[in-house]
Amino acid sequence: KNEVEQSPQNLTAQEGEFITINCSYSVGISALHWLQQHPGGGIVSLFMLSSGKKKHGRLIATINIQEKHSSLHITASHPRDSAVYICAASNFGNEKLTFGTGTRLTIIP
């Protein structure tokens, strides 16, 4: 059974700061997903990666397969980035997701 851990659980930062959220997992995976959840519950997929690094706008996701670790970075953070960010690991074969507990990010103007 895969264990997925995230840190920090809560993060408050000033607008413009560089944000890093970390995720570690315990067993081999097919991919690591970064998801965003806004109040009201809907989940949006930000990244799915199995190696290296991906960038989309101000968001960057990296993964180190050997260390079983991934990070999500937000550059030039903005109050609209405030949300819960969740990492999830997908199993080989059935692709079901094992989720971390999430990081609640609050960006103060």
Partner 1 sequence: DTGVSQDPRHKITKRGQNVTFRCDPISEHNRLYWYRQTLGQGPEFLTYFQNEAQLEKSRLLSDRFSAERPKGSFSTLEIQRTEQGDSAMYLCASSFVAAISEAFFGQGTRLTVV
Instruction: Tell me the window of 12-20, 64-72, 74-82, 85-93 that interacts with partner 1 (CB under 8 A).
Output: 85-93
The answer to whether residue 101 forms part of the interface with partner 1 (CB under 8 A) is yes
In this complex, which beta carbon is closest to partner 1, that of residue 55 or of residue 96?
96
Which position among 34, 100, 105, 107 is part of the footprint of partner 1 (CB under 8 A)? 100
Which position among 7, 8, 28, 44 is part of the footprint of partner 1 (CB under 8 A)? 44
Instruction: Annotate 65-92 with b (16+ C-beta within 10 A) or e (fewer).
Output: eeebebbbbbeebeeebbbbbbbbbbbe
In this complex, which beta carbon is closest to partner 1, that of residue 11 or of residue 97?
97
